[in-house]
Chain A
Amino acid sequence: MTFQKAIEPMTSPCFDEMNGGESVSPSAPRALYDRVARWLENSPPGLLDSRRQQAEMLFRRIGITFAVYGDKEAAERLIPFDIIPRLLGQDEWRRLEAGLIQRVKALNMFLTDVYGAQEIIRAGVVPADLVLRNPAYRPEMQGHRVPHDIWTHIAGIDVIRVDDRDFYALEDNCRTPSGVSYMLENREMMIRLAPDLFADHRVLPVENYPDALLASLRSVAPPHCPGDPNIVVLTPGQFNSAFYEHSFLADKLGVELVEGRDLAVRDDVVYMRTTEGLKRVDVIYRRVDDDFLDPLAFRPDSVLGAAGLMGAYLAGNVTLANAVGAGVADDKAVYTYMPEIIRFYLDEEPKLRNVTTWRCREPDALNYVLDHLSELVVKEVNGSGGYGMLVGPHASKEQIEAFRHKLKAAPEGFIAQPTLSLSTCPTSFPGGVAPRHVDLRPFVLSGAGGVRIVPGGLTRVALKEGSLVVNSSQGGGTKDTWILETDAATR
């Protein structure tokens, strides 16, 4: 999940969600934010600092940490939490929600199609090689149907805004999106640290996320599953960067947290080992990547999955959420086709906008990108987490030239986007408050009963001034996201 914003906050105008428009006059906040603005004004100096320290202490005590790959200094680190909430009005949320529902419906239909009749390829809407040669496409799944045709049960759609009207979908995450534990923990933290401010607003609850997730998972149990399905969360183990979240979710869902070695597959049926013997498993909310799920089907050296799991899955005896091969829909090159994908399956205009994207696989686009490298954000099609991208306006000449080389060598591996004027939110720092760029990852649940979104999500904030990347692995922080019962316009 990458939050690229390449705006120069000092020179280019960008939409500040508290102060509105291009004016940066703190005396006239948007109506939506007037209580937050007053709270900030009336807070005695030092209060925000002490709250921030308290938050850090509490997070440490809970043990909510995040492992950063490639950082030897800090194997586990806290994701900084910002005490100033990010607000969205009911009207804004409704618009966003409708767009997310539409998008996730289309994503599931796309996956059903590419692993089925492949009509979208035959119609020439999406190029065949983009799907079939995609590393995330799983030939093993071809011809397989999953319960209720749902492939991405939990989708994290990264959204940004550049003004008070439109939302842009920046990236779809259809595999194992993480971060929902922060959405829930941040809310608890806000209620604890700023009870007055919270009481001053009517905030829609996020606490029912685990219930909604459980209902979704139950609804996709194998058709012949008797009665109450046995659900488990499958984690790669405590060395995974999101292990905290895996154990947190299992706990909230009231289901077992298992590792591959806790599972046994016998004759296409999955069991978990318990002190009372083997117990059949019906639904696995897996946070293990496709490659590692089953040494008999995928990487033979994997010890994170269970041998025979894929056989049980293809036999329809267990449901995996998300489905194997769902990643082909969140590929950055497939992303560029999302507007066409939505029109193709739903015959509707996309409600969320796509960021203009140049597909470097197309010669004209490549030429444009090579000519404008210093203005664009260039991403690897199969990269994630903000690794391996070029943010033109912030790159040195050497970095740009090195990237030009990579780009020319394998253009099909890259896409490029303009540097967007991402919106900002007030963010607290030792000794003051300053605007910082934000994005939002709502968590979209799909089940037999349809698509459901808990009002909220994970707001990520780029803490470094002018920084363009908000990924937690790249030093981003988080905020609580308040969806209000009242409209932004009418408050």
Chain B
Amino acid sequence: MRASVQFQLQVSFAEPVRGLNQILRLTPRGFDSQEVRDWRVDVLPDATCRRGEDAFGNIVHACSHDGPLDSLTVTAEGLVETHDGAGVLRGLNEKFPLDVFLRDAPATHADRELAVFARDALANEADPLGRMHLLMGALHKALAFAPGETEAPRPANEVFAARAGSARELAQVFVAAARALSVPARFVSGFHLGAGEVGEAGPHHAWAEAFVDPIGWIGFDPALGFCPRDAHLRLATGLDFFGAAPRRAACLGAAREDKRAALSVDAGRQASWQIQQ
């Protein structure tokens, strides 16, 4: 689909803060099935937004605000054209050897229970792609998708034990399970361009990618139960949520943040995902 996308986040503080630093991963990178044009990220009040690239190749904007600050707005907007590539990523410059995506970390650690579940889900399937589809299907079935944005998602084990979680929590469970099967996997943060349709509260969405030999990186969306289609706008990737988070901020002075996020998608042409559904 071809769409003009605008994301806006409004943050207001219960009490003015004395300063704030934030990093934003809100700029999609182009690859074969995702073309990006005229993308820009702005903050209000005005601050220098330094654009850079992190070690995983994500485009990052960092900025500092001096206080007192009682509210701020982040806008990310541009034109994108996405195609249904069955989740296969082509045309991305990979920065790391696969071993990095097998790292164990608290957020994506699989305990015995999850590891056994992952192994059982494979049901003797030998095909690497088939195995990941089985894993996604099993997780989608076993875990309830409870839309909602948790600022800090619970660790994979906890979410698995609770059998329910938000999109980012389910994505971390998938990553943990795949790694437990020795399949390199990573977390992806993005937008679902039909957010209303999938019932996620708020515009953010998250899914996972697994390295399927010999095809390469392929996206799996355990919350929705299918591979990313053209409604998935891929923003950033990391070893877990924290490495790919759309926004990380810390402010000076204790402050309760009230956040409102909105995504408006203006599809220039009939979207193919609508046809599929």
A binding-site residues for B, Cβ under 8 Å: 118, 121, 128-129, 131-133, 135, 139-144, 264-268, 295-297, 300-301, 307-308, 311, 314-315
For the complex, count residues of B whose C-beta is within 8 A of A: 32
A72–B100 alpha-carbon span in the complex (Å):
39
Asked whether B248 lies within 8 Å of A300 as measured between CB atoms, the reply is yes
Asked whether B55 lies within 8 Å of A142 as measured between CB atoms, the reply is yes
7 A-B Cβ contacts within 8 A?
Answer: A118-B97, A129-B102, A132-B97, A133-B103, A139-B103, A266-B64, A311-B50
Q: Which residues of A contact B19 (CB under 8 A)?
A: 264, 266
The A-B contact count (CB < 8 A) is 76
Closest 10 CB pairs of A and B: A307-B250, A132-B99, A308-B21, A307-B21, A266-B64, A142-B55, A296-B248, A128-B99, A129-B99, A132-B100
Closest residue of chain B to A261, judged by CB? B252
Closest residue of chain A to B47, judged by CB? A267
Q: Which residues of B contact A301 (CB under 8 A)?
A: 152
Q: Which residues of A contact B66 (CB under 8 A)?
A: 266
Q: Which residues between 244 and 264 of chain B lie within 8 Å of chain A, taking CB atoms?
A: 248-252
Asked whether B248 lies within 8 Å of A264 as measured between CB atoms, the reply is no
> B265 to nearest A CB, angstroms?
29
Asked whether A139 lies within 8 Å of B97 as measured between CB atoms, the reply is no
The answer, among B97, B99, B249, B252, for a CB contact under 8 Å with A296, is: B249
Closest residue of chain A to B106, judged by CB? A299
Asked whether B62 lies within 8 Å of A311 as measured between CB atoms, the reply is yes
Asked whether B64 lies within 8 Å of A265 as measured between CB atoms, the reply is yes
> B237 to nearest A CB, angstroms?
12
Asked whether B21 lies within 8 Å of A296 as measured between CB atoms, the reply is yes
Closest residue of chain B to A115, judged by CB? B55
Asked whether B99 lies within 8 Å of A140 as measured between CB atoms, the reply is no
A296–B249 alpha-carbon span in the complex (Å):
6
Q: Which residues of A contact B95 (CB under 8 A)?
A: 142-143
| Interface residue? B266 (CB, 8 A) | no
Q: A128-B97, A132-B100, A308-B62 are in contact. Are A265 and B21 (CB under 8 A)?
A: yes
Asked whether A267 lies within 8 Å of B99 as measured between CB atoms, the reply is no
A266–B103 alpha-carbon span in the complex (Å):
32
| Interface residue? B41 (CB, 8 A) | no
Q: Which residues of A contact B239 (CB under 8 A)?
A: 139
> B138 to nearest A CB, angstroms?
25
> B250 to nearest A CB, angstroms?
3
Asked whether B102 lies within 8 Å of A133 as measured between CB atoms, the reply is yes
A140–B58 alpha-carbon span in the complex (Å):
11
Q: A133-B99, A296-B249, A301-B152 are in contact. List 14 more A-B contacts (CB 8 A).
A: A132-B103, A133-B103, A135-B104, A139-B55, A139-B103, A139-B239, A140-B55, A264-B19, A267-B63, A296-B22, A296-B23, A296-B248, A308-B62, A308-B250
Q: Which residues of A contact B250 (CB under 8 A)?
A: 295-296, 307-308
Q: Which residues of B contact A266 (CB under 8 A)?
A: 19, 64, 66
Asked whether A267 lies within 8 Å of B100 as measured between CB atoms, the reply is no
> B243 to nearest A CB, angstroms?
8
Asked whether A268 lies within 8 Å of B55 as measured between CB atoms, the reply is no
Asked whether B56 lies within 8 Å of A139 as measured between CB atoms, the reply is yes
| Interface residue? B125 (CB, 8 A) | no
Q: Which residues between 81 and 108 of chain B lie within 8 Å of chain A, taking CB atoms?
A: 95-97, 99-100, 102-105
Asked whether B55 lies within 8 Å of A143 as measured between CB atoms, the reply is yes
A300–B23 alpha-carbon span in the complex (Å):
12
Asked whether B96 lies within 8 Å of A142 as measured between CB atoms, the reply is yes
A135–B19 alpha-carbon span in the complex (Å):
32
The answer, among B23, B96, B152, for a CB contact under 8 Å with A139, is: B96
| Interface residue? B48 (CB, 8 A) | yes
| Interface residue? B39 (CB, 8 A) | no
* B21, B104, B252 interface centre (most CB from chain A within 10 Å): B21
Q: A296-B21, A296-B23 are in contact. Are A308 and B249 (CB under 8 A)?
A: no
| Interface residue? B213 (CB, 8 A) | no
* B242, B248, B250 interface centre (most CB from chain A within 10 Å): B250
> A284 to nearest B CB, angstroms?
17
